[in-house]
Structure 1
Amino acid sequence: MAKTTTIIDIGSNSMRMVVLQKSSRFAFHLINETKSRVKISEGCYENDGNLQEMPMNRAFNSLKSFLNISNSLKAKKVICVATSALRDAPNSKVFLSRVKKELGLNIKVINGEKEAYYGGVAALNLLHNNEFITVDIGGGSTEFCFVKDGQITKSISLNIGTVRLKELFFDKGSVTEAKEYISSNLKKIFELDINIPSTVVGIGGSIRAITKAIMKDSSYPLDVLHGYTYNVQANKALINSIINAKDITELKKLGIKKDRFDTIKEGTFIFNTILEELSINKVITSGVGVREGVYLCDLLRNSSHKFPSNFNISLRSLLDRFEIDGNQSAYYGNNASKIFEVLKPMHNLDDKFRTLLVVASKLHSIGTTLNFYKVNDNTFNFILNGLNYDFLHTSRVIVAYTIKYSKKSLPTKKDLQGYEELLPNLETMQWMSFMISLNLIINQDYSKPKVEYALEDDVLKIILPEYSFLVESSLDKIEIPKMLELEIVCQK
């Protein structure tokens, strides 16, 4: 696969492009994301599904600009897919032929089931969950992909998009008919005779706009959409407020951005109906969708469209790009695991914290690449936004704070203010701080010593292959959790 790849998704409402760059066999990162609200399906549902001249021109001109960006970023591969509007339009060949002739771009029109599958592949690989149903609300259709035990079991597409319903029902004041239309279409899901999960992974601009409003309403501390999770019932009132907003002023107050004013009420109405009809309890917001799914299907074509087990895309990508020495990173990871295990009788932490301690230890040095001074603060800020995929919000905040307080003193309650709702209790974070600090002290001369540990009567014995003044003097200054004592044992 090409090192730099461009994926373009032509939807009924928006055209989106991502440019992704590989850093190793399976790892990649985003280097450009561009969106254009071309509304290629505008007016088509009132004209027997035919694409209209002006929307087609908007889409053509945007595609031309997208390809300019792609060429400038030296993308060697361009994959362009089109969804509902073009697959439904009787005159779609007019647009497809023009693009091929004048821009040299082949557009692949995908069916609804394939579109749903791409969304499922993206969510399965780039979100931390194994059982859910994706809901991807677009302008012309809504796609559903069912995932159980980490496997995609079924995909389906229904004609209930925002632009479609706006033109057919909402612009005519036929809200009741719109509800009946959605419910009638949803019967096709129940006819699948498949278990419907209680968790939805929400994909698409409408669902992301709803999530932003919920985050604003709750004063959520982390400005990250991907992976944000909320309870449906707890946010029902806000969802209804968007649906019932009388004007733009009310939508603004709810946190809806200008580019969503035209279809957000329809999108929220569709989503709310789906949540009710399918008895959904929890929503996980996805920042990825069809574009990433297309890319992953190409990248993982020889591995059933799934990453290898225990592979973490965000961790690998950051290490590929920013680690100074891979051997040192690996040492810190292994040593972190040994420290966590030997101290388990005292800290009593769940094994998930071992994983997070290992991740924090491996990533600690990447801030040095940005700026040696204030390295912990550099890494803290970078990690909050840099662990883009496959990390719960709580996990990324714990990793960031563990790195931030990898220092002589333990964090205080005041130090954790601002992110309390995403962090465990103070004692847990103090143990995480101590363990990563000890890990860094042991290898501060980068010699990767073959150290062993033993816990006896609340005394942690650090068994070094030979005496190190650097280690001894540093351990004298480090703050230690209550009840624990340290003892250095040198083999020679």
Structure 2
Amino acid sequence: MAKVTTIIDIGSNSMRMVVLEKSSRFAFNLLNETKSRVKISEGCYENNGNLQEAAMRRAFNSLQSFLNISRALKSRKTICVATSALRDAPNANTFINKVRNELGLNIRVIDGPKEAYYGGIAALNLIHENEFLTVDIGGGSTEFAFVKNGEITKCVSLDIGTVRLNELFFRKENLEGAKDFVLEKLKELTDLKEDSIPQTIVGIGGTIRALSKVIMAKNNYPLDILHGFTYEVNLNSYIFDMILEAKDNHSLKEIGIKKDRYDTIKEGTFIFKTILEQLNTKTVITSGVGVREGVYLSDILRNSNCKFPHNFNVSVRSLLDRFEICPKQSAYLGNNAKQIFDALQDVHNLDKKYRALLVIASKLHSLGSSLNFYKSNDSTFDFIISGLSYDFLHSSRVTVAHMIKFSKKRLPKKKDLEQYSSLLPNIETMQWLSFMISLNLTINQDMSKPKVDFILKDNKLKINLEKPIYLVQSEIPKLQTPKGIKVKVEI
């Protein structure tokens, strides 16, 4: 695949584009993300499915601008897919041919199951979970991908979308008819055996992201990041009811709905609430990725069963690539992190998941120096919070950021963790992690990658260095240690 690639997704309500840059074999980063509410399916469901002239003109003009952005970013490959609106429209070829002839862009119309599959591929690779059901609510249809044990087992597309429901039922205030319509379509899912439907949904699409923003605000959530945001359905269903009962746009604004969602949020909420109820869903994970990323991943991972290699994290690899962190230094610090964690296991008694996070924090700690050498730990903290975009729980990225912030410093206190306390482990765990990364970085302070052994005996950690290193020997005694542990350097 070309180093810079453009993916365009023409949906019934919105048209979206991402421009992605490869940094190594599997790693990539986002260069641009653009959205245009072209509403290409506007008016079509009440006109025998035919695309209307004004809507096609909006979509054509937006595509022109998208391609301008793509060319400016030196993209060498463009993949454009279209979903429900074009696959349903009898006159879709009129638009497709005009775009091909005048813009030189080939539009690939994908069927419903393929659309669901792309959403599933994106979630499977970029969400930290291995068993869930994706739900992608669009303007004309809603797609579902069943993921079990890290594999997509079934893909389904149903003709229930926000624009479709608006034109067929909501404009006529026929909510009972809308309910019957959605329930009838959902029988394809509810007729499956109960134990075959995961109780965790990964929500894709603008409606579900808009709902998550409101839920985050109502719960005073400390992290302003949608991808990976998780909530319990039973604790937040009242918010869906508030939206459905809103009398006008002013009421929606008071709830926290943005202006560009006024025209479809009720329909989308209606669809999602019905799905959650019918499938007895317990948990929702918000996805910031969807069809576009799925199309991209299907291309770059086509020779590996559309999955990243085991233990590969695209966000970590991308940051290491982009900030040109020395691979040998990174590998050394990662290996040392494992040794330190394992040597102290009997006294810290931490879950193994923190071992992996300690390795990641140790590898990434220096990227802040590229942003601002002075106070580099603070720079890294801010960047890690947003930079570990994919395949990370929110709690994990916040923990990694705090480890780095308090590396080679005093141990954190409770007041230091207050802002993100709901996402962090307890203070004792954070102090252990802070100490272990500080010790790791101090040992390699002169960047010579010294050979070292760690031996724990009677709550004393002996650090056996192969040869004397003054910086290490002078700095380690200054480290603040968790209660009950002492550190001694031996040559």
Considering the TM-score relative to the shorter chain, is it more than 0.5?
yes
Instruction: Determine the structure 1 residue equivalent to 2:223.
Output: 222
**Hey, what's the Cα distance between the residues in 1 that align with 2:32 and 2:304?**
26
- Compute the displacement of 1:471 (Å): 1.0
**Hey, what's the Cα distance between the residues in 2 that align with 1:239 and 1:29?**
34
Instruction: Judge conservation of contact 2:477–2:487 (CA < 8 Å) in 1.
Output: no
Instruction: Determine the structure 2 residue equivalent to 1:15.
Output: 15
Instruction: Judge conservation of contact 1:11–1:82 (CA < 8 Å) in 2.
Output: yes
Task: Map 1:57-456; keep pairs closer than 5 Å.
Answer: 57-193=57-193, 195-456=196-457
AA aligned to 1:290 is: V
Q: Percent identity?
A: 67
Instruction: Judge conservation of contact 1:323–1:363 (CA < 8 Å) in 2.
Output: no
Matched position secondary structure for 1:16? strand
- Compute the displacement of 1:191 (Å): 3.8
- Compute the displacement of 1:323 (Å): 3.7
AA aligned to 1:339 is: I
**Hey, what's the Cα distance between the residues in 2 that align with 1:324 and 1:235?**
42
**Hey, what's the Cα distance between the residues in 2 that align with 1:408 and 1:9?**
47
* Cα deviation code 1:82-121 (max 9, x no counterpart): 0000000000010001001100110000000000000000
Instruction: Judge conservation of contact 2:408–2:442 (CA < 8 Å) in 1.
Output: no
**Hey, what's the Cα distance between the residues in 1 that align with 2:75 and 2:358?**
36
Instruction: Judge conservation of contact 1:368–1:375 (CA < 8 Å) in 2.
Output: yes
Instruction: Judge conservation of contact 1:323–1:365 (CA < 8 Å) in 2.
Output: no
AA aligned to 2:157 is: S
* Cα deviation code 1:206-247 (max 9, x no counterpart): 000000000000110000000000000000111110111111
Stretches of structure 2 lacking an aligned partner (at least 5 in a row): none
Matched pairs, number: 490
* Cα deviation code 1:101-144 (max 9, x no counterpart): 10011000000000000000000000000000000000000000
- Compute the displacement of 1:324 (Å): 3.0
Instruction: Judge conservation of contact 2:170–2:178 (CA < 8 Å) in 1.
Output: yes
**Hey, what's the Cα distance between the residues in 2 that align with 1:408 and 1:96?**
60
- Compute the displacement of 1:354 (Å): 0.3
**Hey, what's the Cα distance between the residues in 1 that align with 2:295 and 2:155?**
15
User: Runs of 4+ in structure 1 displaced over 4 angstroms?
Assistant: none
**Hey, what's the Cα distance between the residues in 2 that align with 1:192 and 1:9?**
30
Larger displacement relative to structure 2 (47-56 or 192-201):
192-201
Stretches of structure 1 lacking an aligned partner (at least 5 in a row): none
* Cα deviation code 1:350-369 (max 9, x no counterpart): 00000000000000011111
AA aligned to 1:151 is: E
- Compute the displacement of 1:192 (Å): 4.8
**Hey, what's the Cα distance between the residues in 1 that align with 2:407 and 2:256?**
37
* Cα deviation code 1:311-339 (max 9, x no counterpart): 00000000001143111011110001100
Instruction: Judge conservation of contact 2:13–2:139 (CA < 8 Å) in 1.
Output: yes
Instruction: Judge conservation of contact 1:452–1:463 (CA < 8 Å) in 2.
Output: yes
- Compute the displacement of 1:255 (Å): 1.2
**Hey, what's the Cα distance between the residues in 2 that align with 1:402 and 1:239?**
37
AA aligned to 1:489 is: E
**Hey, what's the Cα distance between the residues in 1 that align with 2:191 and 2:108?**
29
AA aligned to 2:255 is: L
Matched position secondary structure for 2:196? coil
Instruction: Judge conservation of contact 1:323–1:369 (CA < 8 Å) in 2.
Output: no
**Hey, what's the Cα distance between the residues in 2 that align with 1:114 and 1:332?**
42
Matched position secondary structure for 1:466? coil
If the length of structure 2 is used for normalisation, what is the TM-score? 0.99
**Hey, what's the Cα distance between the residues in 1 that align with 2:58 and 2:192?**
38
Instruction: Judge conservation of contact 2:127–2:392 (CA < 8 Å) in 1.
Output: yes
Instruction: Judge conservation of contact 2:190–2:278 (CA < 8 Å) in 1.
Output: no
**Hey, what's the Cα distance between the residues in 2 that align with 1:154 and 1:485?**
55
**Hey, what's the Cα distance between the residues in 2 that align with 1:224 and 1:379?**
17
**Hey, what's the Cα distance between the residues in 1 that align with 2:309 and 2:457?**
39
AA aligned to 1:459 is: K
- Compute the displacement of 1:486 (Å): 1.1
* Cα deviation code 1:379-437 (max 9, x no counterpart): 00000000000000000000000000002310111111100000000000000000000
**Hey, what's the Cα distance between the residues in 2 that align with 1:353 and 1:117?**
33
**Hey, what's the Cα distance between the residues in 1 that align with 2:192 and 2:353?**
36
Instruction: Judge conservation of contact 2:451–2:466 (CA < 8 Å) in 1.
Output: yes
Instruction: Judge conservation of contact 2:408–2:439 (CA < 8 Å) in 1.
Output: no
Instruction: Judge conservation of contact 1:408–1:477 (CA < 8 Å) in 2.
Output: no
**Hey, what's the Cα distance between the residues in 1 that align with 2:410 and 2:216?**
33
If the length of structure 1 is used for normalisation, what is the TM-score? 0.99
